[in-house]
């Protein structure tokens, strides 16, 4: 059994319909050898019974702050002291608000305020409650306090609506718990909707600039330095932003794709032309650099086709191209509210991408592994990890269109929630 077998979780069950899922979570934690002691709020007991929680956890369930018998057996402060991790699932809007404001008026909130242990929350609530300004503020406060979030996801809700606010599945929460217990937690980004059609209108009135495709750096009138980018990812992003209501300028290197409908497309060849076209397209609310800009160009472009001399070597002197993304990311004036880069790596994906995000002044970097066999350059699918200042999130392999829709949905939400 893993090193998890000696770990203890204090599970605080909040009052929501998703409370029933915690029964499965308890079972799975115990299968891993993790001991679970549960606390249930008064509301939680309407959705799951203390008896079923006690049967599955094999431990007494605590419900009352002022229980003489419980205090005699184990003081409420001791409950959190003996735990390696505190998990709140479902974390209702009410519990999140109490945590964010330091309220302590029942056993659950008192434990949460009195602990110095790591806290992981799995929010669950109606989508309007999740999107409400006070919840958005509370989530930001808790994230700044170091609270780890698992979810919520989006999907059909018990209230008949569809959207974000659905509690993560027990296996997802389990994975987050394992990561938190083993110390290699990457704080997940706040949950934004998965790819969905509901993005329509989310970027109404916004301006988005996207770069896409390769650049061609001429060697002579017929030869050039290039790479294998097809433009599929960047073009899909421009199309998704347009579908979300944005006014979009796509600055595209040479590709064999049609211009996306409704998008202003500027065709360029070289990195320098791309830089100028991007600057001309500003100001914008969002800049997304999905192009595979050539890092180098020849120091000089031969005016005529270079001739080969029999058997002789030919060398090229390369100089660095302007870094378009870094220029936008570090801009003092007219910097887009969100600057998003891509990182195409063949090894140490996350480490290199994190460094690139910092070096280029990006709010978010989308890391994709373009190593041998990945087929990301030119292919239809992409598997990306989003890296921001406050965490990272790995998405499964998706079509480039799905990556684009998900990315645009996330950026729109981020922009709108931040009221920028």
* Interface residue list for ligand PMT (CB under 6 A): 211, 213, 229-234, 271, 289-293, 295, 321, 323-325, 341-344, 356, 360, 368, 370, 376-378, 400
Tell me whether residue 323 or residue 363 sits nearer to ligand PMT (CB atom): 323
Q: Does the annotation count 159 as an active-site position?
A: yes
| CA atoms of 75 and 93, how far apart (whole Å) | 27
* CB neighbour list of residue 129: distance below 8 Å, 6 or more residues apart: 93, 135, 165
Contact between residue 212 and residue 234 where contact means Cβ atoms under 8 Å apart: yes
What is the Cα–Cα distance from 229 to 17, expressed in whole angstroms?
A: 47
Nearer to ligand PMT, 178 or 323 (CB): 323
Q: Which residue has the tokens 């059909």?
A: 156
* Closest approach of ligand PMT to the CB of residue 248, in Å: 17
HSE toward the beta carbon, residue 337, CA cutoff 13 A? 14
Nearer to ligand PMT, 18 or 370 (CB): 370
Omega before residue 47 within 30° of 0, cis: no
Smallest distance from ligand PMT to CB 46, Å = 48
Specify the 3-state DSSP secondary structure of 190: coil
| Phi, psi dihedral angles at 259 (to 5 degrees) | -65, 135
Judged by beta carbon, residue 354 or residue 416, the one nearer ligand PMT is: 354
- List of residues 6+ apart from 168 with CB closer than 8 A: 122, 150, 151, 152, 153, 176
Give the gyration radius of the chain's Cα atoms.
Answer: 26
Question: Of the listed 42, 159, 222, 358, which one is catalytic?
Answer: 159
In whole angstroms, the minimum distance from the beta carbon of 295 to ligand PMT comes to: 5
161 or 351: whose CB is closer to ligand PMT?
A: 351
Residues 6+ apart with CB under 8 A from 183: none
> Which is nearer to ligand PMT, 107 or 349 (by Cβ)?
349
Instruction: Examine residue 91 and say whether the peptide bond preceding it is cis (omega within 30 degrees of 0).
Output: no
Neighbouring residues of 116: CB distance < 8 A, sequence distance ≥ 6 = none
Sole residue written with tokens 């065709």: 267
Indicate the burial class of 308 (C-beta count within 10 angstroms; 0-12, 13-18, 19 or more).
exposed
Beta carbon nearer to ligand PMT, 92 or 368: 368
| 224-225 and 217-218 strand pairing | antiparallel
What is the smallest separation between the CB atom of 278 and ligand PMT, expressed in angstroms? 8
Q: Are 356 and 293 in contact (CB under 8 A)?
A: no
Least spacing, CB of residue 269 vs ligand PMT, in Å: 14
CA gap 12, 152 in Å, rounded: 17
Q: How far is the CB of 18 from ligand PMT (least distance, A)?
A: 35
Taking the complex as a whole, how short is the minimal distance between the CB of residue 299 and ligand PMT, in angstroms?
Answer: 16
Residues taking part in catalysis: 159
């Amino acid at each position: 059994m893993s090193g998890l077998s000696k770990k203890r979780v204090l599970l605080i069950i909040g009052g929501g319909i998703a409370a029933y899922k915690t029964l499965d979570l308890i079972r799975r934690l115990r299968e891993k050898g993790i001991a679970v002691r549960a606390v249930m709020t008064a509301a939680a007991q309407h959705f799951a019974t203390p008896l079923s929680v006690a049967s599955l956890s094999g431990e007494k369930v605590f419900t009352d702050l002022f229980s003489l018998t419980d205090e005699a057996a184990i003081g409420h402060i001791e409950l959190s002291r003996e735990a390696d991790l505190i998990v709140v699932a479902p974390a209702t809007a009410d519990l999140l608000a109490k945590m964010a404001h330091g309220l302590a008026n029942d056993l659950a909130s008192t434990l949460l305020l009195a602990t110095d242990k790591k806290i992981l929350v799995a929010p669950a609530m109606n989508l309007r409650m999740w999107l409400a300004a006070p919840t958005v503020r509370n989530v930001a406060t808790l994230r700044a306090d170091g609270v780890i979030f698992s979810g919520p996801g989006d999907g059909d809700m018990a209230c008949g609506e569809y959207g974000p606010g659905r509690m993560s599945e027990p296996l997802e929460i389990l994975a987050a718990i394992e990561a938190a217990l083993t110390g290699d937690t990457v704080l997940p980004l706040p949950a934004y909707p998965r790819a969905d059609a509901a993005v329509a209108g989310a970027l109404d009135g916004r301006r988005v600039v996207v770069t896409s495709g390769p650049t061609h750096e001429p060697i002579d009138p017929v030869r050039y330095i290039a790479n294998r980018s097809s433009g599929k990812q960047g073009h899909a992003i421009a199309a998704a932003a347009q579908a979300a209501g944005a006014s979009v300028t796509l600055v595209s290197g040479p590709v064999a794709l049609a211009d996306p409908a409704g998008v202003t497309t500027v065709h360029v060849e070289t990195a320098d032309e791309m830089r100028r076209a991007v600057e001309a397209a500003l100001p914008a609310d969002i800049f997304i650099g999905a192009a595979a800009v050539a890092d180098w160009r020849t120091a000089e472009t031969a005016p005529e086709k270079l001739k080969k001399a029999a058997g002789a070597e030919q060398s090229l002197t390369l100089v660095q191209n302007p870094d378009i993304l870094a220029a936008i990311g570090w801009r003092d004036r007219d910097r887009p509210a969100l600057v998003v880069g891509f990182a195409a790596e063949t090894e140490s994906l996350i480490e290199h991408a994190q460094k690139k995000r910092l070096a280029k002044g990006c709010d978010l970097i989308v890391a994709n592994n373009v190593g041998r066999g990945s087929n990301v350059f030119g292919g239809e699918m992409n598997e990306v990890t989003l890296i921001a200042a406050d965490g990272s999130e790995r998405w499964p392999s998706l079509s480039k269109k799905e990556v684009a829709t998900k990315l645009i949905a996330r950026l729109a939400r981020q922009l709108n929630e931040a009221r920028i």
